[in-house]
């Protein structure tokens, strides 16, 4: 049979476990499905998609697309504006790409296939601390 002291310490331990797990959940970033159910596609306005959303370091951007039709190229602001594909930071081609946001500031992504970027398949986000 448990005495008062033991019951009290079990409660403390339970409390510690719960607070730890909620802390762990909290530190896990938000997952942003780019374009929601449309995914990473042509004819989707990604500027609209970013409205009302907050992006923070540790969040994850998920790009869903058909890997034989699109890709995700992380570029600088100039390449974003000009749809330039010669210089890029990273290229993702899996079709289900999770990109962990690791820095504060603006980030730019385009699709480097054909004229997709010119047709609006581009995303720019502003990452808050
Ligand atoms: Cu594309």
Are 77 and 106 in contact by the 8 Å Cβ rule? The answer is yes
Instruction: Give 42 Cα–ligand 1 centroid separation in angstroms.
Output: 6
pTM value is 0.79
> In 3-state terms, what secondary structure has residue 70?
coil
Tokens encoding 55: 């992006």
Asked if residue 88 lies in contact with residue 112, where contact means CB atoms within 8 angstroms, the answer is yes
CA 114 / ligand 1 centre spacing (Å):
7
Query: How far apart, in whole angstroms, are the C-alpha atoms of residue 85 and residue 10?
Result: 59
Give the distance (Å) from ligand 1 centre to CA of residue 104: 26
Residues contacting residue 124 through CB under 8 Å, at least 6 positions apart: 46, 47, 50, 77, 80, 106, 107, 108, 109
**What average pLDDT does the chain have?**
88
Residues in the chain, overall count: 129
Show me where the domains of the chain are located: 29-128
- Mean of pLDDT values over 8-32: 62
Among 2.40.10.340, 2.60.40.420, 1.10.3720.10, 3.40.50.720, name the CATH number for the domain at 29-128.
2.60.40.420
Tens-place pLDDT, residues 83-114: 999 999 999 999 999 999 999 999 999 999 99
25-40, pLDDT tens digit by residue?
Answer: 555 799 999 999 999 9
Average pLDDT over residues 27-54: 94
Tokens of 49: 């998609």
Distance of CA 11 from the midpoint of ligand 1 (Å): 54
User: If pLDDT is split at 50, 70 and 90, which confidence band does 22 have?
Assistant: low
pLDDT at site 28: 75
How close is the Cα of 66 to the center of ligand 1, in Å? 9
């Amino acid at each position: 049979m448990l005495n008062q002291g033991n019951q009290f310490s079990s409660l403390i331990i339970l409390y510690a476990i719960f607070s730890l797990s909620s802390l762990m959940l909290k530190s896990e970033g938000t997952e942003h499905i780019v374009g929601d159910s449309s995914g990473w596609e042509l004819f989707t306005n990604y500027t609209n998609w970013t409205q009302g959303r907050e992006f923070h370091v540790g969040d994850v951007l998920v790009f869903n697309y058909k890997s034989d039709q699109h890709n995700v190229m992380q570029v600088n602001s100039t390449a974003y504006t000009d749809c330039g594909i010669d210089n890029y930071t990273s290229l993702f081609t899996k079709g289900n790409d999770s990109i962990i946001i690791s820095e504060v500031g603006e980030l730019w992504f385009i699709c480097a296939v054909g004229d997709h970027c010119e047709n609006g398949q581009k995303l720019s986000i502003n990452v808050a601390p």
